[in-house]
Chain A
């Protein structure tokens, strides 16, 4: 009996140590691979650094191969390195939640769910056995020969100046961009079918995407996954700024997750709280990624992210205190059993000694990462560990603010857009781009897609920085065709340091046909957000004193290759009024016009067919009697 009692804790101890060993193992596996990642380690940023302007194609491959397949960072307390021994599974699922308290008291939560699957949708063998990867998306990829698919549904506008940069930017409304495989012959037809199918999968009105709001950007949207060549004939990009996101879109999105909304982090995704926020964005990204260093095999990565910003004043009593229960009205009880890693990261960079806010329950796990050019420190909660949940078997993180001091680091790139002018005949679109870096200038790629009914005049395009003209080095302009395609304007502009660059272009508003107006034409018409893509110099490397400490041969150039990160910024969508005819008067208008035509026709007809005869005026009675008498007499009349 005693032996039994003694052996039980021993067995438990052995099991725990084994569990710790396994966890440390997986961390080391990622540790080794991430040690070599000298560039930004977070996969989003690494993926974004892989996206280039046209000048550096060779670097892309090297940077992409360096990134690991998950989101781990070098752990602060690291067990001795052990090479991985277990075989890699064919598919895997990881989930994580990043919570970043913002300076204004709001809180930013970003969920990321990643499913990786080593399979080939493209070759003849039909894939039929789906485990973690959702079948609907797998069938979409194979049927429409999709190489990359990126779709986002966003409610609200991301305020860069108050909230900093998001991990994954998205424009208000719905955005869809797709790279097709080279084997597709009719890209437009495939695009149309794809949008309709996706509209059914996500319960969104993506079927409104047609040729009048689809463009083919030539430079701004390069593939985010592995790509052999980038012929932009196979790229399609469309936005629907008017699209509203609601529970109907969240439910099918949650269904794509392996655990659904029953276990793991997805338990927190309850719509009554999620939509009671300042900003809500859910995205799906599908792309092929490399399995290993040599990139001999590729696997498909499905990444679902949900970004939400909770407002201090809307969702609380104004007390600066956040908890998982307050944000999501749920707490966590377990990790998703199908997940190989399930973690929560809280950004504590601005709170190193705990003077700004207090985090409970406390955790000793820490990790550091260079995210968006900034070195951030995170407290980590590992949900695969039972100890995280404590005695209550539930985890309710609490963040209590103590002081409100502290300044947010100003984002280096920031943009605004507005419509100027008066009346319903003409107008001007102004796009302002702010470069807040003190001494570095960098180029940005601006993409504007304007609907056809706002006729742009490209000869009125002016780009000014600091009051002087700044000529773009590359302009790609595709004029619109009425009722067929929109305008596409892409420009590469060099932004001087610490300046505002203003891009203005004039347009003319068109009068549409009666049936082309929406039922609420006086609401206005939306113009989709402009997209600004740039490689921004990183703050981490913004250290001008480092020339003192290094050997001279390495410190000549002021920047390293990895000291810039890719960022994509979306401006506000515009709401523009169009001139409307009088909708109550079609019959009157037709009558009026036909009257003019009839008057013209009538008078000309008269002129042409009337013949004139000379007629003597009829004489008076006396004269007539006299004429009768004269006629009888045979004498000529009077």
Chain B
């Protein structure tokens, strides 16, 4: 499987390199569907320029990236295109390997269930065969790399690509069963934007199931595992935050990054729900609706994890979808990440009668958004 994957990577990198060299790159990096005030490359460059002028990037309201991004791009600003292409490649490869592992486990579970005769007789269409499952990892990588949303996000040099890479590495380390690494990557993902905090629940579920820890509230091993994971997660988060303090010597970045994500002061149009609502709302109710909208993202974690405790990977998929719809500044890069998981459940497409309509809905919504935005702001 290495050869088709390599070919896919080469094709993807070629497309991106070609678009980088064309005149479309500037046009794409201005589009609000692709970049948000949190992830725009223009703002990263602005933050670095402010740092060169001797002014803290967080003293103004233009730069909202974390200090580690400053640190990273201070050295890599000339190689930005390669960095973002590499981030996409890393994400695709991580998803490929993790889906391959997942398929192996699924197939093993299915084999045991078949031998134990637990499936009713008329659902043999839903039983996955190795032949079908052989190409799923490649399809996942392809869905991610050749998705127009991902390509646009990479060409615009939106730091969403880096966030996706971290989340993909977290999923990979979770699939491999490495508790420490998954805690570290999850802490890094949470540090970048707060919302991946909700991925703690599926991580815990999956890792406990992998280690055969029973999910019973009265068992000591259950709580002991949760305590271990929490300690590793909170510890690495604390270390990263303290490192960020030492970079610039002040805590200014906390209100500028996290305060910005949570309180949504910038009403630049984007594909999310927040901006128009808060633009047209009375000041009196602002805090109330802000809390409601933010809780909406975190609220589905517990019920979903109770319902889907047997299927933690599907839970991750659902959680990523919920985050990318309801977060405060979404971009198309966030959508691309959860769309990449669709081939994993391709065996369920028989039950899905409206798949075609959904697809055409997405395409027409994207199109109409483009020209409606033109009418709103450009003419």
CB within 8 Å for A513 and B278 given contacts A424-B378, A475-B53: yes
Determine whether B273 belongs to the interface, using a CB cutoff of 8 Å to chain A: yes
B307: chain A residues within 8 A (beta carbon): 607-608
Determine whether A184 belongs to the interface, using a CB cutoff of 8 Å to chain B: no
Among B60, B278, B304, B307: residue with most chain A CB under 10 A? B60
| Partner-binding segment picked from A241-249, A290-298, A584-592 | A584-592
Q: How far is the CB of B348 from chain A (nearest CB, A)?
A: 14
Closest A residue to B307 using CB positions: A608
Is the pair A596, B280 in contact by a Cβ cutoff of 8 Å? no
Considering only residues 25-56 of chain B, those with a C-beta below 8 Å from chain A are 30, 42, 45-46, 48-50, 53, 55
Among A422, A425, A483, A512: residue with most chain B CB under 10 A? A425
B322: chain A residues within 8 A (beta carbon): 600, 604
A581: chain B residues within 8 A (beta carbon): 276, 279-280
Contact of A514 among B280, B303, B376 (CB under 8 A): B280
Contact of B281 among A424, A452, A586 (CB under 8 A): A586
CB within 8 Å for A479 and B61 given contacts A604-B300, A608-B307: yes
Among B267, B283, B306: residue with most chain A CB under 10 A? B267
CB within 8 Å for A589 and B378 given contacts A455-B61, A482-B265: no
Considering only residues 57-113 of chain B, those with a C-beta below 8 Å from chain A are 59-62
B326: chain A residues within 8 A (beta carbon): 597, 600
CB within 8 Å for A513 and B55 given contacts A423-B378, A459-B45, A480-B61: no
Is the pair A596, B273 in contact by a Cβ cutoff of 8 Å? yes
Closest B residue to A425 using CB positions: B377
Question: In the complex, A245 Cα to B282 Cα: how many Å?
Answer: 34
Determine whether B298 belongs to the interface, using a CB cutoff of 8 Å to chain A: no
Q: What string of 1s and 0s marks CB contacts (under 8 Å) between A585-617 and chain B?
A: 110011001001100110010011000000000
Closest B residue to A581 using CB positions: B279
Question: In the complex, A424 Cα to B207 Cα: how many Å?
Answer: 50
Determine whether A364 belongs to the interface, using a CB cutoff of 8 Å to chain B: no
Is the pair A512, B50 in contact by a Cβ cutoff of 8 Å? no
Question: In the complex, A478 Cα to B266 Cα: how many Å?
Answer: 19
Q: What string of 1s and 0s marks CB contacts (under 8 Å) between B267-310 and chain A?
A: 11100010111111111000000000100100010011011000
Determine whether A218 belongs to the interface, using a CB cutoff of 8 Å to chain B: no
Contact of A455 among B49, B62, B282, B377 (CB under 8 A): B62
A596: chain B residues within 8 A (beta carbon): 273
Contact of B46 among A459, A483, A597, A604 (CB under 8 A): A459
Is the pair A457, B62 in contact by a Cβ cutoff of 8 Å? yes
Determine whether B325 belongs to the interface, using a CB cutoff of 8 Å to chain A: yes
Contact of A579 among B278, B306, B377 (CB under 8 A): B377
Determine whether A458 belongs to the interface, using a CB cutoff of 8 Å to chain B: yes
CB within 8 Å for A425 and B267 given contacts A586-B280, A596-B273, A604-B300: no
Is the pair A604, B30 in contact by a Cβ cutoff of 8 Å? no
Considering only residues 10-27 of chain A, those with a C-beta below 8 Å from chain B are none
Determine whether B379 belongs to the interface, using a CB cutoff of 8 Å to chain A: yes
CB within 8 Å for A513 and B283 given contacts A477-B53, A479-B60, A608-B307: yes
Q: How far is the CB of B223 from chain A (nearest CB, A)?
A: 25
Q: How far is the CB of B338 from chain A (nearest CB, A)?
A: 14
B283: chain A residues within 8 A (beta carbon): 513, 515
Total interface residues on A, CB under 8 Å, equals 38
Closest B residue to A511 using CB positions: B267
Q: What string of 1s and 0s marks CB contacts (under 8 Å) between A212-226 and chain B?
A: 000000000000000
B46: chain A residues within 8 A (beta carbon): 457-459
Is the pair B45, A512 in contact by a Cβ cutoff of 8 Å? no
Question: In the complex, A254 Cα to B48 Cα: how many Å?
Answer: 53
Question: In the complex, A513 Cα to B284 Cα: how many Å?
Answer: 12
A483: chain B residues within 8 A (beta carbon): 265
Question: In the complex, A581 Cα to B267 Cα: how many Å?
Answer: 11
Contact of A510 among B49, B59, B268, B296 (CB under 8 A): B268
Q: How far is the CB of A143 from chain B (nearest CB, A)?
A: 33
Is the pair B279, A511 in contact by a Cβ cutoff of 8 Å? yes
Determine whether A481 belongs to the interface, using a CB cutoff of 8 Å to chain B: yes
Q: How far is the CB of B279 from chain A (nearest CB, A)?
A: 5
Closest B residue to A611 using CB positions: B307
Q: How far is the CB of A467 from chain B (nearest CB, A)?
A: 23
Is the pair A481, B282 in contact by a Cβ cutoff of 8 Å? no
Considering only residues 501-556 of chain A, those with a C-beta below 8 Å from chain B are 510-515
Is the pair B269, A511 in contact by a Cβ cutoff of 8 Å? yes
Q: How far is the CB of A588 from chain B (nearest CB, A)?
A: 9
Among B61, B307, B325: residue with most chain A CB under 10 A? B61
Is the pair A457, B42 in contact by a Cβ cutoff of 8 Å? yes
Contact of B379 among A423, A477, A608 (CB under 8 A): A423
Q: How far is the CB of B309 from chain A (nearest CB, A)?
A: 12
Q: What string of 1s and 0s marks CB contacts (under 8 Å) between A412-439 and chain B?
A: 0000000000111110000000000000
Q: How far is the CB of A592 from chain B (nearest CB, A)?
A: 8
Question: In the complex, A630 Cα to B103 Cα: how many Å?
Answer: 48
B45: chain A residues within 8 A (beta carbon): 459
Question: In the complex, A199 Cα to B335 Cα: how many Å?
Answer: 54
Is the pair B50, A514 in contact by a Cβ cutoff of 8 Å? no
Q: How far is the CB of B4 from chain A (nearest CB, A)?
A: 35
Contact of B61 among A452, A511, A597 (CB under 8 A): A452
A512: chain B residues within 8 A (beta carbon): 267, 279
CB within 8 Å for A579 and B376 given contacts A479-B59, A513-B283, A600-B326: yes
Question: In the complex, A426 Cα to B32 Cα: how many Å?
Answer: 12
B residues near A (Cβ < 8 Å) are 30, 42, 45-46, 48-50, 53, 55, 59-62, 265-269, 273, 275-283, 293, 296, 300, 303-304, 306-307, 322, 325-326, 376-379
17 A–B contacts, CB within 8 A, in A order: A457-B42, A478-B59, A479-B50, A479-B59, A482-B266, A512-B279, A513-B283, A515-B283, A585-B280, A586-B281, A589-B280, A590-B280, A590-B281, A597-B273, A601-B296, A604-B300, A608-B303
What are the nearest 6 A-B pairs in CB distance? A479-B60, A459-B49, A423-B378, A586-B280, A593-B277, A511-B267
